[in-house]
Amino acid sequence: MAETRSEQAVRAPLAWVAGIAAVVLGAGLGELVATVIGAASSPFAAIGGALIDAAPSWAKDAAIALFGTADKIALLVGIALTALVLAAFAGWLEARRPPWGRVVIGAFGAVGAVVAMTRADAGALSWLPSVVAGAVGAVTVWLLVRMLRPAASESPVPRDPDAPSADEVPAPSRRAFFAWSGAAVAAGALAAIATTTRRAGSAAVSAVRAALRLPTPAVTAAAVPEGAELRIPGLARVVTPNDRFYRIDTALIVPEVDPADWSLRIHGMVEQEVTLTWDELLALPLEESFTTLACVSNPVGGTLIGNALWLGYPIRELLARARPTTDADMVLSRSIDGFTASTPLDVLTDDRDAILAVGMNGEPLPLEHGFPVRMVVPGLYGYVSATKWVTELEVTRFDRSRAYWTDRGWDERGPIKLQSRIDVPRKAQGLSAGDTVIAGVAWQQQVGVGGVEVQIDDGPWLEATLATAISDDTWVQWSMPWTATVGDHLLRCRATSTTGEVQTSDIAPPAPDGATGHHERFITVF
């Protein structure tokens, strides 16, 4: 059969090119449509988000350990590479077994559409970008592969036996094939680039945030004490600037929540459901407080921790309006993108500065830190307390519901453990012998740090000097003079809490309830 012969005639590498060009064009246009429909509908974002949610905890831990806060970029690159391999396969399939290449690409579009619709932040049209991507990809692969088929199969005239054999595509049509494939790739890439500029340039919510003026606090935090900041080069600043604050979340695309559309619903085991709008929240007497936020995934010596001046309203006051029933013991907070955290009710109703925050270091929350409203709760790791883009507080019980991470095996309560870290001397640069300083930070929010000790080369533990703490809810800097001698040295630190607890040397990984062990640093002195 002429048809069969011509199908086998297409060379595999050309078929791969056809598949890749088709998918690049489809994906690019799909992303472009998503900028109109809403970022959550992006096929990449939807599939990436679903993968993040579906991934086993060990994979996520490994990703954070391997890529740190670049874990999302790594995931997107991984998805893109996988898509390209599948695209090449679909091109090959279209050449060998039409119409299966088209069908495979179309099916991926359909899967993307279903995934996009099942995301927590899906809109009514979230399926559209994936369907566009799939349809454009399918049609394009069909057209491109067709160009690769020898004209013979379409012509009833028997071929001249001296003409190029059937597996040779005539040069003119091959040139056309490359031209069209190149055009498809270029158009897809252009569409993708347009997507990024559009997102960066005209993001309406960024503009709203930039124009926003937060109200003056009703309760102002005391100024950072003189002596809280040791000003040692290389030592983490006692108040972390917003643009240096660590970011950890499951959101592949930062949710864009317009304050005008924001509201918080408090419901569940309450006597009175409460709804709060943005304007209502800003009209309340807002309070400032310094709280150090820490991630449970922070390894010993890690940097997934930061300290900021937050502005917000006490959650206890809002819960008092809602009146939780006496058998409730947990608040499940939910963000606009479906993330949830389970916080013990008593933690949210005692007198600590557990707040619904709108401000961070004198500015509205940055988008990636939860704009317009997030929770900040001193003393608990972020995964059980610090819900960003929060829209819902459901009062419930630990034995009735579970949260995003507790569902994946992490501890239900998540109190922050006593920890300390050496910041200087820095690891990379060698140190020259002589007088220098060892310095770092230590923390146990809600409890407070009473002291830090340093051990050099398995010698005695030596008392470091604590800087003035801002409060028990923040980390505190510490330092110790050191006369460094030539050679290799091992530095170690440990904190003692205000209650006399000494930071354990037992080594535990971050999962399931936070890393323990002493931070150690090897240093070569020249």
Ligand X SMILES: Nc1nc2c(c(=O)[nH]1)N[C@H]1C(S)=C(S)[C@@H](COP(=O)(O)O)O[C@H]1N2
Name the site residues for ligand X (rule: CB under 6 A).
Answer: 245-251, 293, 295, 335, 337, 339, 369, 382-383, 386-389
The token duo for 252 is 């592949």
Give dist(CA 465, CA 478) in Å, integer: 6
Residue closer to ligand X by CB (options 251, 354) is 251
CB of 498 to Mo ion, least distance (A): 25
Asked if omega into 425 is within 30° of 0 (cis), the reply is: yes
Rounded to the nearest 10 degrees, how much is the dihedral formed by the CA atoms of 215, 216, 219, 222?
130
CB of 259 to ligand X, least distance (A): 16
CB of 377 to Mo ion, least distance (A): 13
Report the partner that residue 5 touches, choosing among ligand X, Mo ion, none (CB closer than 5 to 8 A by kind): none
Spatial CA neighbour of 278 closest among 376, 383, 389: 389
Residue closer to ligand X by CB (options 344, 382) is 382
CB of 55 to ligand X, least distance (A): 13
Please check whether residue 311 is in contact with residue 358, taking contact to mean a CB–CB distance below 8 angstroms.
yes
Give dist(CA 399, CA 406) in Å, integer: 12
Report the partner that residue 454 touches, choosing among Mo ion, ligand X, none (CB closer than 5 to 8 A by kind): none
Total residues in contact with Mo ion, by rule CB under 5 A: 4
Residue closer to ligand X by CB (options 89, 245) is 245
CB of 201 to ligand X, least distance (A): 24
Report the partner that residue 116 touches, choosing among Mo ion, ligand X, none (CB closer than 5 to 8 A by kind): none
The token duo for 243 is 């643009």
Residue closer to Mo ion by CB (options 50, 295) is 295
Residue closer to Mo ion by CB (options 18, 403) is 403
Give the per-residue contact string, 289-328, with Mo ion (x = CB under 5 A; - = no). Answer: ------x---------------------------------
Stretch that binds Mo ion, among 149-157, 169-177, 380-388, 425-433 (CB under 5 A): 380-388
Rounded to the nearest 10 degrees, how much is the dihedral formed by the CA atoms of 416, 357, 208, 33?
40
Residue closer to ligand X by CB (options 250, 471) is 250
Residue closer to Mo ion by CB (options 95, 293) is 293
Q: Is 375 in the site for Mo ion (CB under 5 A)?
A: no
What is the bridge-based pairing of β-strands 305-314 and 287-294? antiparallel
In Å, what is the CA distance from 165 to each residue of 159, 170, 207, 281, 469? 9, 10, 62, 76, 82
The token duo for 148 is 């690769």
Identify the DSSP state of 177: H
CB of 513 to ligand X, least distance (A): 13
Residue closer to ligand X by CB (options 174, 265) is 265
Report the partner that residue 177 touches, choosing among ligand X, Mo ion, none (CB closer than 5 to 8 A by kind): none
Q: What share of the chain is helix, strand, coil (3-state, %, to 5)?
A: 40, 25, 40
CB of 445 to ligand X, least distance (A): 13
In Å, what is the CA distance from 305 to each residue of 19, 193, 297, 385, 389? 44, 33, 10, 14, 19
CB of 448 to Mo ion, least distance (A): 22
Written in H, E and C, the secondary structure of 71-132 is: HHHHHHHHHHHHHHHHHHHHHHHHHHCCCHHHHHHHHHHHHHHHHHHHCCCCCCCCCHHHHH
Q: Is 46 in the site for Mo ion (CB under 5 A)?
A: no
Q: Report the residue from 150, 378, 382, 510 that binds Mo ion according to the rule CB under 5 A.
A: 382
What is the bridge-based pairing of β-strands 434-443 and 419-424? antiparallel
Residue closer to ligand X by CB (options 335, 445) is 335
Give dist(CA 207, CA 199) in Å, integer: 12
Q: Is 515 in the site for Mo ion (CB under 5 A)?
A: no
Residue type present at position 204: A
Q: Report the residue from 108, 262, 310, 383 that binds Mo ion according to the rule CB under 5 A.
A: 383
Residue closer to ligand X by CB (options 10, 276) is 276
Q: Which residues pair with 308 in a beta bridge?
A: 291
CB of 247 to ligand X, least distance (A): 4
Q: Work out the number of other CB atoms within 10 angstroms of the CB of residue 77.
A: 12
Give dist(CA 78, CA 18) in Å, integer: 21
Report the partner that residue 479 touches, choosing among ligand X, Mo ion, none (CB closer than 5 to 8 A by kind): none
Q: Report the residue from 75, 93, 128, 248 that binds Mo ion according to the rule CB under 5 A.
A: 248
Interaction residues for Mo ion, span 135-164 (CB under 5 A): none
Spatial CA neighbour of 393 closest among 313, 461, 457, 471: 313
Give dist(CA 107, CA 93) in Å, integer: 14
Residue closer to Mo ion by CB (options 44, 383) is 383
CB of 87 to Mo ion, least distance (A): 35
Report the partner that residue 256 touches, choosing among Mo ion, ligand X, none (CB closer than 5 to 8 A by kind): none
CB of 226 to ligand X, least distance (A): 27
Report the partner that residue 388 touches, choosing among ligand X, Mo ion, none (CB closer than 5 to 8 A by kind): ligand X
Site for Mo ion, rule CB under 5 A: 248, 295, 382-383
